[in-house]
Structures are given as structure tokens and as C-alpha cells.
């Protein structure tokens, strides 16, 4: 068991060393052409801004620089676990070339990206190349005694391997011994050398107080979404009252006015109108109850999130299983947001998934309210503009919640929602 574990650890480390060398070589090959090209294009585009040409080209070039920097950030995280924060200022989607150009130029993050380019094509290139050199150079030393030195050393010549002069077979073995030492060093330090490249990029690209800046941006967006959602909800309530209950109450008032005139002249007709007014009042009351239920369902207020979701599941036209493990209740706003988020996800499953079964799980752990909704439908669900899931994401974002969707073609679809909260 211990031997297998040790061998597995050696294989894993060997894989890391080789990957670091290969990745460093790939980076060094890509750094120079892309870095030089974007640096030259950026300088030319900025130089042409006074002529007007740069107003058109600069946003495109700076977007390319941003994409290049974002790629390096992503690789730093994926390859070495080094997180490089960023905080770009958002630009209006309908911004004209003038606003777009100077909006990007006023962004400090843009200038960090531009300042990173000359660093990347110089020190960045060298630090990217080091892991490959650290791995390949010892291999060359080990191959010298096998006859490689003969191709390097003409008759009477000398090939220097580091500080070892190779003039024949004996000195080639000396170079191989040095290569073995260098390989031992590379075995230990090559992955760290690749990390040095990304730490250099982080030193230039990373945003001071980036997490705070990103937090402010997210809060600004979620506040705007919450205001927009509240305004839309108020308009819906107003429309429902105007088109539903209000219209019925007005009609009932007119019927009662007619009844007053017909009581003495036509009691039979008056009784019919009274019956009609009674039906109108019943329907108006039912519509008002439905409207109030849409604002805050009574079962949610009285019995909590678990029972409210169970009540939702009972009204579904497909089989549903609900599992609840909530030792308490979250705050009312969180509870309401979770309820309507689940309602929207279930509605999407009924309308679009083609499923015949759905599972809902609610539990609270590590300070998080976690809700998962799974259906056995056709899959293909995604968070996109105009979709119900995008609305759910905005609703949860108001409370720092997150939404994740796994929906491969052919299903199943798994929607996971998390909201940080405490239970009372």
C-alpha cells in the first residue's frame, strides 16, 4: 500500500514537472508574437486617435489586449492556482466610438494591461522559457555520453556544457554527471519556475483592492436589478388590479345602482342583478386572494419555505418529490426570494424540459441555504438573456446568492441555488 502510494506520488510529480516544462515552452512561443503584435498595434492606434482613425481602432485593439490578459489570468488559475484579480469598468452597450475609446482609456485596468505587454515580452518571456530550459538542458547533458557530443565537437574543438568543457568521451560523462545534478534540481523546482511567470504577471495585472472593487460593482448591479424588478412587480400588481378586481367592483357598483332603480318597478330583474353582483363580488375576492398569494403566499408566511415548496409541488402536472432539511427559517426576504426562485425553476421544467418527474431538495449547511431542482427532461437549459433562469439569477444576486445549471443534451437538468443566510 505504502509502495503504491509512493510510486503514485512520484508519477504525479513527474507529470507536474513535464507539464510545467511543456506549458512554459508553449507560453514562451506564444508570448513574443502576440505580445509584440498587440504592443505595436496599441501604440499605433493611440497615435492615430487625434486623426480620428484611432477612435475606431482603439476599442478593438484594447479589447484584444484585454482578451490576451484574461487568457493569462485564466491559465494562471488553472495551471498554478494563482488568482489574478481584475476590475474593468463596464461600458454602455450602445456607446459610440468616442465614448467607448475614452471610456476604456480612463479605465486603470486597461493601462495595467497595456503596461503588462512590454513586461511580458521581456521578463515574461524569460520566466516562461525557464521551466522548459530547466527540464531540457539536463536531458541534453545526459545524452552527451551517448554520442551527442560528437555532433557538437569537431576535431580538436571544445563544447561547453555549463562550466564543463566537453572534448571527449570522459568529459562527456562529466557533463552527464552535471546534467543529473541539474535534473534533480529541475525535478524539485520546475513547477515553481512556471509559477514565477504567473506571479510576475500578477504583480503587473492584479488590481489593488480588486475584491472590494468587484464587490461594489456586483452590489451596484444587483441593486439596479432589484429596483427594476420591484418597479416591474408594482406595474404588474397595478395592471392586475385595474384589469381584474377593479373592473369587477366597478361592474358590481353599476349593477347595484340598477338594482336600486328596479326594486319597485321590476323586483324579479332586481333579484337577478343582485345574484350577479354577488357572483362578481366572489370573483373579485378570489382575484384579490390570488394577487396577494402572488405577492407573498400565505402558506409561506404561516408555515415556512419547506411547506410552501411542498404546496408548489402538489400543484405541478408532473410527479414531484420534495426533501426538506431546514432546522429553522431564514429571514423573510430570503425566504421569499428562494420560494419564487424555486417556483420559476419548476415552471421552466414544466414548460420546456419535457420531464415527467422532478426532485427538489432544500437544506442548510455552512451558513448557506442550498436548493437543488432536478428533472429528467431533455436538457439543454442555460442561463441567457431573456430566459427565466436569468431572472432567477438576478433575484438571488440581490442576496449575494448564486445559480448554477448543469443541463447536458438529453438531460438530466440540475439547477443549484445557494443563498448565504442564517436560520432562526
Please report, for the chain, the start and end positions of each structural domain, with discontinuous segments joined by +.
2-205, 218-295, 303-420
| Residue 367 grid cell | 451558513
b/e per residue, 202-226, with b = 16+ CB within 10 A? bebbbbeebeebeeeeeeeebeebb
Nearest to 128 by CA among 189, 188, 203, 196: 196
| Residue 75 grid cell | 491559465
Cβ contact 389:404 at 8 Å: no
pLDDT of the residue at 248: 62
Which secondary-structure segment (H or E) carries 319?
A: strand 319-325
Helix (H, G, I), strand (E, B) or coil at 244: helix
Helix axes 53-80, 108-119, angle to 10 degrees: 70
| Residue 170 grid cell | 570522459
Query: For the domain with range 303-420, which CATH number is right: 3.40.109.10, 3.30.420.40, 3.40.50.1860, 3.30.565.10?
Result: 3.30.565.10
Helix (H, G, I), strand (E, B) or coil at 367: coil
d(CA 8, CA 29): 32
Global pTM value: 0.52
Note down pLDDT in tens along the chain; length 424 residues: 445 445 556 788 778 888 888 888 888 888 888 999 999 999 999 999 888 888 889 999 999 999 999 999 999 988 888 988 887 877 777 778 888 888 888 888 899 999 999 999 999 999 998 888 888 888 888 888 877 777 777 766 788 877 888 877 888 888 888 888 888 888 888 888 888 999 999 999 987 665 566 556 656 665 666 555 555 656 656 665 555 556 566 666 776 777 777 777 777 777 777 777 777 777 666 666 655 555 556 777 788 888 888 888 888 888 888 998 888 888 888 888 888 888 888 888 888 888 888 999 999 888 888 999 988 888 888 776 556 677 788 778 778 788 888 888 887 888 888 988 888 7
Amino acid at each position: 500500500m505504502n509502495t503504491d502510494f509512493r510510486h503514485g506520488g512520484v508519477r504525479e510529480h513527474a507529470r507536474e514537472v513535464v507539464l510545467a516544462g511543456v506549458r512554459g515552452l508553449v507560453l514562451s512561443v506564444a508570448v513574443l508574437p502576440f505580445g509584440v503584435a498587440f504592443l505595436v498595434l496599441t501604440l499605433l492606434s493611440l497615435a492615430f486617435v487625434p486623426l480620428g482613425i484611432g477612435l475606431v481602432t482603439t476599442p478593438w485593439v484594447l479589447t484584444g489586449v484585454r482578451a490576451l490578459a484574461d487568457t493569462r489570468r485564466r491559465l494562471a488559475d488553472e495551471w498554478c492556482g494563482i488568482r489574478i484579480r481584475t476590475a474593468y469598468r463596464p461600458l454602455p452597450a450602445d456607446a459610440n466610438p468616442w465614448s467607448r475609446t475614452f471610456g476604456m482609456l480612463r479605465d486603470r485596468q486597461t493601462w495595467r494591461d497595456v503596461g503588462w505587454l512590454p513586461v511580458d515580452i521581456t521578463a515574461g518571456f524569460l520566466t516562461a522559457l525557464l521551466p522548459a530550459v530547466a527540464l531540457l538542458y539536463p536531458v541534453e547533458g545526459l545524452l552527451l555520453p551517448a554520442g551527442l557530443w560528437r555532433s557538437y565537437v569537431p576535431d580538436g574543438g571544445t563544447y561547453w556544457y555549463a562550466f564543463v568543457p566537453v572534448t571527449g568521451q570522459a568529459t562527456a560523462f562529466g557533463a552527464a554527471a552535471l546534467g543529473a545534478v541539474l535534473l534533480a534540481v529541475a525535478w524539485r523546482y520546475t513547477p515553481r519556475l512556471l509559477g514565477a511567470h504567473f506571479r510576475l504577471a500578477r504583480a503587473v495585472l492584479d488590481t489593488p483592492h480588486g475584491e472590494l472593487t468587484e464587490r461594489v460593482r456586483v452590489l451596484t448591479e444587483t441593486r439596479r436589478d432589484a429596483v427594476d424588478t420591484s418597479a416591474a412587480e408594482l406595474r404588474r400588481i397595478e395592471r392586475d388590479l385595474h384589469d381584474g378586481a377593479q373592473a369587477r367592483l366597478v361592474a358590481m357598483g353599476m349593477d347595484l345602482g340598477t338594482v336600486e332603480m328596479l326594486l319597485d318597478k321590476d323586483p324579479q330583474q332586481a333579484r337577478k342583478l343582485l345574484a350577479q353582483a354577488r357572483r362578481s363580488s366572489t370573483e373579485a375576492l378570489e382575484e384579490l386572494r390570488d394577487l396577494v398569494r402572488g405577492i407573498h403566499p400565505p402558506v409561506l408566511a404561516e408555515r415556512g419555505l419547506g411547506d410552501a415548496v411542498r404546496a408548489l409541488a402538489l400543484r405541478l402536472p408532473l410527479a414531484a418529490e420534495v426533501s426538506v432539511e431546514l432546522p429553522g427559517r431564514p429571514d423573510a426576504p430570503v425566504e421569499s426570494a428562494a420560494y419564487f426562485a424555486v417556483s420559476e425553476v419548476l415552471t421552466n421544467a414544466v414548460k420546456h424540459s419535457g420531464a415527467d418527474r422532478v426532485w427538489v431538495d432544500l437544506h442548510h449547511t455552512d451558513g448557506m441555504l442550498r436548493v437543488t431542482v432536478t428533472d429528467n427532461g431533455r436538457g439543454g437549459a442555460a442561463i441567457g438573456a431573456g430566459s427565466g433562469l436569468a431572472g432567477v439569477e438576478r433575484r438571488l444576486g440581490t442576496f449575494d446568492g448564486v445559480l448554477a445549471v448543469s443541463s447536458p443534451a438529453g438531460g438530466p437538468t440540475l439547477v443549484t441555488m445557494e443563498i448565504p443566510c442564517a436560520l432562526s
